[in-house]
Structure formats: C-alpha cells, structure tokens
C-alpha cells in the first residue's frame, strides 16, 4: 500500500463530524477499498473550545484555514463551510495551492460554480460534489456518468427533506403548517431560521446544479420561478387527497422541444406515482432518459451520516483517481444548451382554491373570468359550510381543477379574480404534475 493520503476537513459541524467519524471508525475499510490509508491531518473549526464528540490527535484541530492552504503535505481538502463568503475565496485558494477539493456546499456551487470549475480545470485539479445535492443519494454520479448514454429529457425531484416532512405530517395528523414546522425544528429537520428550506431556495440551488449537469446549460436562480410551502394550508392537502393527489414541493427541469422549463413549486402529484409515495424527510429524483426511460433514485437527502457518506464516497473517488478522470469530462456550466422557456409559456393543469361569499352569481363571476382567459374547468368541489351567525354572509371554500392552460393565462385570470369582492384571501394556485 502506498503512503497515506493527507486530508483536511474545513468545517467540523454536523456533516464534518460525520466525515471524521467514518474516516476514523472505519479507517481499515476505507484503506482497503481505496488502496491507500487516509489520514486526517487538519480539521478547521471556528471554536477550538467546543466539544466535538470525536477523538482526534493533538494538533489536528485548528482555527487557521490558511494553515491548510499553505501546507504542501495536504493532498485533498474537504470543504464543508456553509454559505458563499468566505467559502468562495477559500476554495479558490485551495485549488491554487494544488489541492483537489470535495465539497457539500450547494449554495457555493450554485452561485459561483462557473468560476470554480473553470479554475479547477485550468489548474488540473478536480472538484467532487456528490454531497451537494440530495445528501446520500448518488444523483450526481447518475446524471453525469450512469446516464451518459442518454439525453436526459426531464428531472422531477423532491430535494428538500424539511418540506417533505412538513407536508407528510400535516396530512397524516391533520395538523397546521406552524405546528409541524415547530416540531421539525425540535427534531433537527428544520433550522431555527427555516426560510431557505420552506421558501424553496434550497431546492432551487440543487436544481441549478442538476440541470446544468443534465443539459449543459448555465442557469441561475433568477432564470426561473421559485415558490415554497409556507402559504399552504391543511385544507389544500386534504382537497388534493380527495382528488387523488398528494402535494409535494418539486424541483423540475424538463426539455420541451428546443427549450428548457425550470421551476420549483408545490405541485399536485397523482397518488399512484413514486414521488407522491415518498414521505417524511426522504428525497427522490426521477430522471427520464431518451434511451433508458424513467428511472428513480430515492433515499436520505440530508442529515449527518447520509451526507457524510456522500462526502467520503467522493473522497474515495479522488484517492482512486476516478474523480480526476471524470471531472474534466463533465458538461457542467457550459455556454451551450437549450434556452430557458419563459414561465408564462409553460402549460399544465391547475388546482385553484378560493374562499368565497355564499351568495348567488359568485361561481358564475369566477367561471366568466376563467372563460375570458380561455381557461376550461375540469371539475369543481364546493362543500357546504356551517351556517353564519349574526346575519353575516358566510364564506365557503371553492376548489376548481382546470384543463391544460398556460401560466400566463392563469396569472391574468388571477389578477382579475383578485378584484372580485366575493373572493376572500387566500387565493391558492398550484400546478398539477402530469
């Protein structure tokens, strides 16, 4: 066996601790499978006094990231810093110092991927990033290697376990969004500030990386709409179930002719579909290839050990030399590829929910507006509401399923519907995945 590979872990939070745990507790297995022992030479932390829950030799822990950059004996850096600043400059410095990099930082690759990949190729280094998307699911390998004989035609994915857990538990227990969010925070599924998750940004960052791998198209978050789950109510989940659907926060990239449709939003998914059956904090990615047809990849999309597992798998690829061979061939962050289709041109069916005054002509007013915008109604649900008291006009829920129409027409109709005094907030509009 050759000399040990010296590794530095930059960021010893949840995932970093998991990586260190695997490399120390299963060192013999890692050495046997890679043909080389792996030695943690440095572990960079912000607070040296904080307990880590793992025994590392004296001198390994440091709060000086520059000591890693300047150390010529460190072969690979596992960069697990969050955010983009100073993570961007640290990664550039690591590459310039001649080190290959393994990272799980999706935000960094989403915002600065083109610059970082070009720099790595220029310097003859590699960046391995399996853990940046869908945690323990080997989806980067699937898209970039296993599907290389195909033109991928669509990606449909649950990429955020926090949102999937919340939606699952709301329906299962007839609980409110706020109650389940609080529970998810207590269980560690959601951050203290859950905005990145529940507003859809986390899933959108992952979609940027996936669609650039699959379609060779450089895109950014500003190129497509993102909507989270924070405006959904239990009523929507129950109505969807009554109609034979489940609501899931989906990240979608789909080739339509010579254009690419991109969006992250809650969608109604038929309850028989594998995506609809993926519950709790699990993730699933459905890839469709022109040769292989539909394929599914499911598993733990986040968490300490699933993500650490993906990081270590990337590290093993670097040790073996596989990553250095595959990285230059990845069609990532290219300048070619299909044009992103304007959102208003996207066609699909819609679920609409209103709270309306229970009086004559309200439904006629709504159908008139939909008709003027060339939107055809497929079905209507209106359950009887309790009698109002005190002479007030009671409000009743009204659910409409449309036939296929464009996002542009739905937006115009929604603007007109907002002017009707008979419709009370909120107005919910969700697309259907067909």
- The pLDDT, as a whole number, for residue 177 is 96
Q: Give the domain-ending residue among 89, 108, 128.
A: 128
Given a contact cutoff of 8 angstroms between Cβ atoms, the answer to whether 15 and 307 are in contact is yes
Same domain flag for 80 and 155: no
Strand 423-433 and strand 350-357: the pairing is: antiparallel
Same domain flag for 261 and 196: yes
pLDDT confidence bin for 334, thresholds 50/70/90 = low
Same domain flag for 14 and 159: no
Same domain flag for 155 and 284: yes
- The pLDDT, as a whole number, for residue 233 is 95
Same domain flag for 337 and 349: no
Task: Write down the pTM of the prediction.
Answer: 0.93
Longest C-alpha distance within the chain, in Å?
86
Percent of the chain with pLDDT strictly greater than 70: 96
Which CATH number goes with the domain that contains 79?
A: 3.40.50.720
Question: Which H helix or E strand runs over 402?
Answer: strand 395-402
- Which DSSP category does 226 fall into? B
Same domain flag for 254 and 122: no
213 HSE (CA, 13 A, CB side): 28
As annotated, the active-site residues are 206
- The pLDDT, as a whole number, for residue 245 is 98
Same domain flag for 351 and 235: no
| Domain presence at residue 67 | yes
Nearest to 173 by CA among 275, 300, 277, 280: 280
Domain range enclosing 93? 5-128
Residue 333: pLDDT above 60? no
Distance CA 388, CA 403 (A): 33
Same domain flag for 211 and 284: yes
Same domain flag for 364 and 407: yes
Q: What separation in angstroms does the CA of 134 have from each of 190, 206, 285?
A: 16, 8, 8
Same domain flag for 426 and 398: yes
């Amino acid at each position: 066996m050759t000399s040990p590979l010296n590794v530095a872990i930059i960021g010893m939070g949840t995932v970093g601790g998991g990586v260190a745990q695997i490399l120390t507790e299963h060192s013999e297995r890692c050495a046997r499978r890679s043909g080389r022992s792996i030695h943690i030479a440095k572990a960079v932390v912000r607070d040296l006094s904080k307990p880590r829950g793992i025994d590392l030799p004296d001198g390994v822990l440091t709060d000086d990231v520059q000591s890693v950059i300047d150390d010529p004996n460190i072969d690979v850096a596992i960069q697990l810093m969050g955010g983009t600043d100073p993570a961007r400059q640290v990664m550039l410095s690591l590459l310039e110092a001649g080190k290959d990099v393994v990272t799980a930082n999706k935000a960094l690759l989403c915002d600065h991927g083109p610059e970082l990949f070009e720099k790595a190729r220029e310097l003859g280094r590699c960046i391995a990033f399996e853990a940046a998307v869908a945690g323990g699911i080997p989806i980067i390998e699937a898209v970039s290697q296993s599907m290389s004989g195909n033109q991928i035609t669509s990606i449909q994915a649950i990429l955020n376990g926090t949102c999937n857990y919340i939606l699952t538990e709301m329906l299962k227990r007839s609980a409110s969004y706020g109650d389940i969010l609080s529970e998810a925070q207590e269980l560690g599924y959601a951050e203290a500030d859950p905005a990145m998750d529940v507003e859809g940004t986390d899933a959108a960052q992952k979609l940027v990386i996936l669609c650039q791998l699959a379609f060779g198209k450089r895109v950014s978050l500003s190129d497509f709409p993102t909507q989270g789950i924070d405006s959904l109510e239990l009523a929507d989940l129950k109505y969807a179930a009554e109609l034979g659907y489940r609501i899931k926060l989906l990240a979608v990239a789909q080739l339509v002719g010579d254009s690419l449709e991109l969006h992250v939003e809650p969608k109604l998914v038929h309850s028989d579909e594998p995506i609809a059956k993926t519950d709790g904090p699990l993730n699933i990615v459905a890839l469709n290839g022109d040769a292989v047809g539909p394929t599914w990849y499911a598993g733990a999309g986040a968490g300490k050990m699933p993500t650490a597992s993906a990081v270590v798998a990337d590290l093993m690829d670097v040790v073996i030399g596989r990553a250095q061979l595959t990285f230059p061939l990845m069609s990532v962050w290219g300048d070619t590829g299909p044009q992103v289709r304007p959102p208003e041109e996207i066609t699909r069916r819609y679920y609409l929910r209103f709270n309306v005054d229970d009086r004559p002509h309200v439904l006629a007013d709504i159908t008139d507006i939909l008709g003027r915008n060339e939107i055809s109604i497929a079905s209507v649900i209106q359950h009887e509401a309790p009698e109002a008291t005190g002479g007030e006009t009671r409000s009743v829920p009204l659910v409409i399923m449309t036939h296929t129409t464009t996002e542009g027409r739905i937006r115009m109709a929604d603007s007109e519907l907002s002017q009707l005094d008979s419709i009370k907030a909120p107005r919910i509009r969700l697309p259907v995945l067909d």
